[in-house]
Structure 1
Amino acid sequence: MKKPPAPDDRPSSRPAGTRPSTGVVVDRETVELKRLEKRIGRVHLQQRLGIEADHATQIFGRGRTVFHIENWYSIHALIRLTLRCLGLYGWGVRNATSIQIRHNEVVIPHLPAAFDGLTLLHLSDLHLDMADGYPAALIERLQQVQYDFCVMTGDFRAKTFGDYQAALAALAQVRDALHGPIYAVLGNHDSIRMTPGIEALGITLLLNEAVALELDGEVIHLAGIDDPHYFQVDNFDKAAQHIPPDSTAILLSHSPEPYQRAAHAGFDLMLSGHTHGGQICLPGGVALMTNADCPRRFCKGAWRYHAMQGYTSVGSGASVVGVRFNCPPEITLHHLRSGSTPDQ
């Protein structure tokens, strides 16, 4: 009787020159993260994932502000209870779905002629899984506006940790109501693991990256930085490295906090969100808090710093508690114009 060959002597059915299978199953998320690493760099990805794992639920410390009310869930319940006892909760919920359409004219002296009159739709702080009725209210407003490009300045989900599939599902509904090219950045509520799901919807995320927008042979540049508020992984060198110094350049940043660096980097316009304009404000729109480490004049509406113009959206959604007072949510239409600014 012939003995079976020893393990090292057994003939192989593998094609010559190939390696044996290790039996390791690589899941889809691992593959997607590897692709993302090649795109944005190992250090950026490791920092983002590490901070998400270590600090996503932290209430004190980390980031540009020492207190993060979005992570203090017991106070969320207390705010809701207090508003209900005062008979204000239902009013605040209705306010949070009464989305306003804002218009902002931006005059840029060296704007190429092809872009004169171009309109950017600006959406920010959607927090799409915060309240069931909110996505429908947003979609209704979106069907009423005309624009050429859409930009989003982060915070797609309500929480800062955990599952994000509900937010992505709601974003898919909103995406169906949008047209034209869409560019976005991530906010402090967003995981970088959401990137493949967001981009699968046809939304281009700018993670310390820039793109050239071309019309009739003329070009402007649109850059986006990763969250500068909590994760602090924004990198202006990377975001602006391919932008010619004489080109019209627009920056997307979740928060207005790095306004000084943006201006000195040569950007003409900075679009941000994050602050919610305070969300719960005193009469006259005076914010109780802005959750931003910058002067209040940069935390709501149009502003200017040196030669750079800026706009901080109060956001379309709501965070912490799904209510608003004296600070209605908005979608913003930025109308680009060529011409001289008032101080020129």
Structure 2
Amino acid sequence: MGVAGELSRIATKGAWAAGAALAAGGLAFGYGLSERNRFQVRHESLAVLPRGAAPLRVLHLSDIHMVPGQESKRQWLRSLAGLRPDLVVNTGDNLSHHDAVPALLEALEPLLEVPGVFVPGSNCYFAPRLKNPLRYLRGPSGPPRSAARDELPWRRMHEAFGSAGWINLSNRHQSVPWGPLRLDFSGVDDPHLGRDAFAGWPRGSSTSGEAPHVRIALAHAPYQRVLDTFVDAGADVVFAGHTHGGQVCLPGYGALVSNCDLPTWRARGLSWWEHSGREVPLNVSAGIGTSRFAPIRIACPPEAVVVTLTARTA
């Protein structure tokens, strides 16, 4: 075979390899587009209530990233009311489009009739931007620069949540009577934007000492500094989102990134966060949506989480 023939053979082999890579990439992208709508409900149980207390069914929602026209997501969110939660915990990133608030509120309408608490994420405040996804492998994405900030109608969303009775816990705390218990909530504004400022726990009313207290902490992004603060302050359980569970995971390995300093193996699910000799259950939701500029999930289906809080046995 002459030089020309060898060059032709190499070129043909390279073309086949490139074609195979493109085909594999296309299949992966197609699968990722499909998996983003394979909604599921994860169930967990935590014995954190005082002895003898009745179970408390908490529905944890996070990272909805609503965009107008997402009918499958809308219908699935509405169906979650059928789980009959006692409390809804929403850990932010509800929007991914300027015109998404009506669609979001319509999807959440049945759940807005349930008592709820919430904290915002960066994609409650600002619209997502087109980014190179490989940047996430270098570390967490930074907050948007002032010149690039495209503010979303978060005030309208928060007003609607508040009108429905959901409690805004952005650097705030509040105590709520729950039968013979008091649920002490404390949340922080989005740590990913550096807006977090822990407000401590509510002092309660003059008669609040007559009821056992359960301390529930919320944050959008589970940065270690925030989790350490919650644990040191005596939280009984922590809820967070932000990670998307990694969004693109390797089967048998898991998340490649968490988009914060949380270890990637904790990017989805229930684990125990330990600090200064104390550990607290931490539920990190893999989230329900994605940025509209990266609408795929691989080996990481979207989820809502039902965490049933039960009484301690000892």
Same fold (TM over 0.5): yes
Distance 1:274 1:131 in 2: 23
1:139 aligned partner: 77
- Contact conserved, 2:75 with 2:107, CA < 8 A, in 1? no
1:18 aligned partner: none
Letter in 1 for 2:203: H
Distance 1:215 1:143 in 2: 20
The answer to whether residue 213 in structure 2 is matched with residue 247 in structure 1 is yes
- Contact conserved, 1:187 with 1:274, CA < 8 A, in 2? yes
1:46 aligned partner: none
Deviation per residue, 1:204-233 (Å, 9 max, x gap): 32111122221224312122110012x211
- Contact conserved, 1:223 with 1:251, CA < 8 A, in 2? yes
1:183 aligned partner: 117
- Contact conserved, 1:263 with 1:308, CA < 8 A, in 2? yes
Distance 2:29 2:50 in 1: 46
> After superposition, where does 1:79-90 map in structure 2 within 5 Å?
86-90=26-30
Paired-residue identity, %: 28
RMSD: 2.6
Unaligned runs of 5+ in 1: 1-81
Distance 1:94 1:212 in 2: 41
2:256 aligned partner: 288
2:155 corresponds to which of 182, 191, 195: 195
1:111 aligned partner: 50
2:268 aligned partner: 300
The answer to whether residue 147 in structure 2 is matched with residue 174 in structure 1 is no
- Contact conserved, 2:51 with 2:313, CA < 8 A, in 1? no
Deviation at 1:126, TM superposition (A): 0.4
May I ask how many residue pairs the two structures share in their alignment? 251
Deviation at 1:198, TM superposition (A): 2.5
Deviation at 1:285, TM superposition (A): 5.4
Deviation at 1:84, TM superposition (A): 9.2
1:329 aligned partner: 302
- Contact conserved, 1:267 with 1:308, CA < 8 A, in 2? yes
Distance 1:276 1:198 in 2: 22
Deviation at 1:288, TM superposition (A): 2.3
Unaligned runs of 5+ in 2: 1-21, 126-151
1:134–1:150 Cα change, 3 Å: same
1:322–1:215 Cα change, 3 Å: same
Deviation at 1:260, TM superposition (A): 1.2
Letter in 1 for 2:188: I
- Contact conserved, 1:225 with 1:239, CA < 8 A, in 2? no
2:246 aligned partner: 278
Distance 1:278 1:176 in 2: 29
1:89–1:177 Cα change, 3 Å: farther
Deviation per residue, 1:147-193 (Å, 9 max, x gap): 1011100001126xxxx3x2211221122131311211000222286
Letter in 1 for 2:31: W
Name the SS of the counterpart of 1:169 in structure 2: helix
The answer to whether residue 227 in structure 2 is matched with residue 259 in structure 1 is yes
Distance 2:229 2:282 in 1: 13
1:233 aligned partner: 195
1:316 aligned partner: 288
Task: Select the structure of larger CA radius of gyration.
Answer: 1
Deviation at 1:321, TM superposition (A): 1.1
